[in-house]
Structures are given as C-alpha cells and as structure tokens.
Amino acid sequence: MKIIECPRDAMQGLHDFVPTASKIAYINTLLEVGFDTIDFGSFVSPKAIPQLRDTAEVLAGLNLEKTASQLLAIIANERGANDALNFEEINYLGFPLSISEQFQQRNTKKSIIEALKTVENINNLCQQKSKTLVCYISMGFGNPYGEEYNSDIVGNFTEKLDQIGIQIVSLADTIGSSSPQLITSVFSDIIPAFPHIEIGAHFHSTPQTANEKLAAAFQSGCRRIDGAIGGMGGCPMAKDDLVGNIATENIFAYLENIHIEMEINQEAYQKSLAMKTELFG
C-alpha cells in the first residue's frame, strides 16, 4: 500500500503566501513520517500558481538523508520538466492530463492532442534522467463541463498512456464528484486491463464521503492513494469552490479499521498534524 502525501496540493490554492521556511519545516516533518512519496512542489509558472514559486528554494532546505520517502514535483510543460530534471533529489514528475478538453486548456493551455504529445516528450526526458513520470487523469470520475464522460473514455486515455510507456497513472477526482459506484466501476475496468501499470487514486472529497470513496477504491484493487493532512487543498484551476484532498487521517483510519498496519513514525505524524494546524488553521 502506497500513501502519497500532497503538501503541494494542500498549499497551492491558499490565498496568503506560506513563508518558504515554514514550508521547509512542514515538509521536513512529513519526510520523517514514512510516506511512500511526498508531492512537495511544482515547477509551473509563478503567475499560474504563485504559492509554489519557491519550490527550488524549498527543495534546497529539505533533509533527505534520513528518509525513505521519495519526492514528486508537478510540471505542466517541457520547460517545467527540464527545470525539475535538473535536481537529482526529485524521483517523480507529475503531469495533469485531462479527459476534458475545456479543463486541459484551462489547466495547461493545451489541447488534449497537444498534451499527449507533451506527455510523450516529457516521458522521454524522464527516461534519459532515470526519473519516472506519473500521469494524472484529471476529471477521471466525472466531467462538469457538459462534455461526454464514461469509464470507457478513462480506459481509452489509459491505453494511450500505456502506448507512450507511462508506468504510473493516477485517476484524479478533480472536483470531488465521484461516487462509490463510479469508483468501483472505473477501477474494476482499468486495473485488470493494465496489470503492468500502477493505478492510483487522487481523491478530492468532503469529510462525509471520504471513507466510502476509500473503501470503493481499495476493494476494487487500488493500492496507491494520495492524501493531504487535514483534508486541505483542491485544484484552483477547476472551479471557485475548492473541494479539499481526502484527509490522510481518513486514509490511516480506514486502513486501521480493516486491519492493515502501516509502518509510520507516530511521533513525526502527530507533529505534522500539530504543525498543519499551527501553519494553516
């Protein structure tokens, strides 16, 4: 079971700039917890996401000597990928590919066809640097723009990514619209069809629906889940009312309830919970 902690997603939509030193202190604490991966920052235009304009400075302050967690950075184009690939400390690059034409334009200013070509080019760059590209399928559980949506479309996109050579695909519930029935349907189709691809879930959710989404994903074979402590975050490019990430606390509680033990540093985890409250409320 892989838990991906996403402080990048938690902070990117905040109005007030979080001081660089505070980001470093918070992420350093997360690095002690034992998460598989930390989605720590983003190499995108500071005009688009001003909160993350200090990603390189944050990276320079991280203590990576005593952690087994790996680092993931989000990019939206080849320029951002080249910037991220300059840092040996980064293990994964993440690219948001949408099944919605409107959202792809809104998020990366590209058509879907252009975005797929960009994915191919970035994947080639990653292979040259021995990095792994994670592709997020945005609007993976619904389309709020009136465009056609069904699980077959998700499967077709996954097939295209498979042809490019993508090894990790994370289905993103970008606006928190998924239902347990839809999650079960999508994962039950996708996971058996692509056993050689690691299929993950990046849920946005209200606290009231978090557990039923986790149960649907887990019972359908998903073993890679993204979360954010406190259920913070949301996609500022999607809509004005941000629906936060599924809370890491919910993920751990669900796994504990079904008797799956995660090897985590409880002291560091409790410190992270307290620090989150202190920094972000």
- pLDDT band (50, 70, 90) for residue 238: very low
Q: Which CATH architecture has domain 2-280?
A: Alpha-Beta Barrel (3.20)
Segment 165-170 mean pLDDT: 98
pLDDT top residue among 251 and 108:
251
Active site residue 235: yes
Predicted confidence (pLDDT) at residue 35 exceeds the cutoff of 50:
yes
Segment 174-199 mean pLDDT: 93
- Model pLDDT, residue 135: 98
pLDDT top residue among 186 and 143:
186
Predicted confidence (pLDDT) at residue 281 exceeds the cutoff of 80:
no
- pLDDT band (50, 70, 90) for residue 183: very high
The percentage of the chain sitting over the pLDDT mark of 70, rounded to a whole number, equals: 96
- Model pLDDT, residue 235: 52
6, 135, 222, 235: the catalytic one is 235
- pLDDT band (50, 70, 90) for residue 240: very low
Which residue, chain included where needed, has tokens 């979080």? 18
Segment 253-279 mean pLDDT: 95
Predicted confidence (pLDDT) at residue 114 exceeds the cutoff of 50:
yes
Alpha-carbon separation of residue 163 from 14, 116, 194 (angstroms): 37, 11, 11
Segment 228-239 mean pLDDT: 69
Segment 173-193 mean pLDDT: 92
What is the tens place of the pLDDT at every residue in 60-75?
999 999 899 999 999 9
| Amino acid found at 8 | R
Segment 161-171 mean pLDDT: 98
Segment 20-48 mean pLDDT: 96
Q: Tell me the pTM.
A: 0.93
Segment 112-125 mean pLDDT: 96
Predicted confidence (pLDDT) at residue 143 exceeds the cutoff of 60:
yes
Average pLDDT, the chain: 92
Predicted confidence (pLDDT) at residue 101 exceeds the cutoff of 50:
yes
- Model pLDDT, residue 144: 77
Predicted confidence (pLDDT) at residue 239 exceeds the cutoff of 90:
no
Which of these, 236, 235, 263, 193, lies nearest to 3 by C-alpha position? 263
Segment 44-50 mean pLDDT: 92
- Model pLDDT, residue 208: 86
